[in-house]
Amino acid sequence: MTRGDRVLIIGGGLAGLATATALAPLGFKITLLEARQRLGGRASSFQDAGSGQLLDTCQHVSMGCCTNLAHFCRTLGIDHLLAPQPSLYFMTPDGKVSPFHADRLPAPLHLARSFARAHYLTWNEKARIAYALLRLRQADATSDPPFLDWLVRHGQTPRTIDRFWGVVLTSALNESPERIGLRYARKVFVDGFLRHRRGFEVSVPTVPLGRLYGEELQRWCSRQGVELRLNGAVRALAIEDNRVLAARTRQEENLEADWYVCATPFDRLLGLLPQEATDRHPYFTNLRRLETSPITSVHLWYRGAVTHLPHVVLVDCVGQWMFNRGESAPGEFYVQIVVSAARHLRGLGRDEIERRIVAEMASLFPAASSDRLHRARVVTERAATFSAVPGVDAWRPSPASPFENLFIAGDWTATGWPATMEGAVRSGYLAADALLRRMGRVTPSFVQPDL
């Protein structure tokens, strides 16, 4: 069995970066290859050609329950670039707002008073929801039937599903309630809202994601001897005798290592491996059963501030979240609206999507009238996340692949979490754990405990 210390990580998203931060301090010689000119994977930014401004493809946030992402940020020294939001603001189409914040009561009652004051639910609906939350907390954490069926069996109405369960789950899981399973719906509510007083607290980067995973991260890698190779796309992995022999780049360079970690999207992983090798193993063939879900983000710049609120969770609206990014240039104020599980926007052109969102913003915020709109941009990620459909864990692979020296990382692997930055970081830590176990090295797990 391989005993060397050379590790080649393919993919510079959070999963690959987390693997590197776990292994580099242990003395491994790490080379990390990223196909693009930037790190961060889907949690990254691009330069707007019109303004030169660095824009996030889609706004990413952390929550208090994301313990591994928090550990990762502390390790790299970038935690100061995340701003906690102690309150969540829920807005309905009439412009009314209900804030949610924790009071002094212990979990799971810390949000009870805010929930009781929510203007967009009747008292009867709140009672129905409270009953279902209690039953959800008691439910088997490994059971994964269709969640919509579960909600109906537990007294939920179309209105409570639309105005409560769907509002939270569509943005958290990037999937609509009728397509998700019980397991990850339960995880969102139990870990995020019921288990710990701080679990629900959202943290928003104060800088573009390209900056968040930029200078400090690269300095940390330099100090640890991690070689970062951007524009380093891999074309194929050479397999022989159940081992990876080399990674062949698009420049036809063969890169050899003792250990390989592939931290790419699952369809990209299948494209790197010989089909005859993957067809032999359900570990790989099951990946073809994973589905993806799109996210659309609409970037808007106004002549003047739109709202004083840092963000808004939208109820009964086209979008799910509005993020207020403040003054991006003198007299120009930037907001981003995120439309999760955006299948319903397929077939609409960017102009029509923009028109709908601009009209919705104008109806919600008087200061967001269309005549004050300076410019706009619509961005859609068609395969933004994997879909947490019922039973999806049967197809998500563990980090140790059937090949002796190949490990897999990505938020779509068997992390026990849905498709989130937390899941991506956990996958990298789990890949590092698996690599060390295969070497016969006994160390504490890199995975951080839950709140």
DSSP 371: G
Digit-coded pLDDT (tens) for 196-236: 999 999 999 999 998 998 889 999 999 999 999 999 999 99
Residue 373's DSSP bridge partners are 302
Can you tell me the distance from the alpha carbon of 295 to that of 310, in angstroms, rounded to the nearest whole number? Answer: 21
Domains and CATH numbers, the chain: 6-44+213-290+389-439 (3.50.50.60), 54-61+292-386 (3.90.660.10), 103-194 (no CATH)
Mean pLDDT of the chain: 95
- The closest alpha carbon to 58, from 210, 175, 170, belongs to 210
User: How far apart are the C-alpha atoms of 20 and 47, rounded to whole Å?
Assistant: 26
Angle between helices 67-76 and 215-223 (to 10 degrees): 70
Task: Give 439's Cβ-side CA count (13 Å radius).
Answer: 21
pTM of the model: 0.96
Pairing status of strand 97-101 against strand 87-91: antiparallel
Distance between the two ends of the chain, CA-based, in angstroms? 38
- For the beta sheet containing 311-314, the strands, ordered from the edge strand earlier in sequence to the opposite edge, are 97-101, 87-91, 311-314, 321-329, 332-340, 292-302, 373-386
CA distance 26 to 23: 5
pLDDT (0 to 100) of residue 46: 86
* 13-51 pLDDT, tens digit each: 999 999 999 999 999 999 999 999 999 998 888 888 777
What the block records as the tokens of 392 is 């999806």
Written as one string, the DSSP assignment of 409-451 is -STTSS-SS-SSHHHHHHHHHHHHHHHHHHHT-----SPPPP-
Q: Give the model's pLDDT for residue 277.
A: 87
315, 163 Cβ separation under 8 angstroms: yes
What confidence score (pLDDT) does residue 1 get? Answer: 45
Q: What single string gives the DSSP state of each residue in 187-209?
A: HHHIIIIIS-TTTT-EEEESS-H
The full 3-state SS of 97-119, as one line of letters, equals EEEEECCCCCCCCCCHHHHHHCC
Residues of the chain with pLDDT under 70: 1-3
- Report which secondary-structure segment, H or E, holds 332: strand 332-340
Contacts of 347 (CB under 8 A, 6+ apart): none
DSSP code, position 265: -
d(CA 83, CA 311): 12
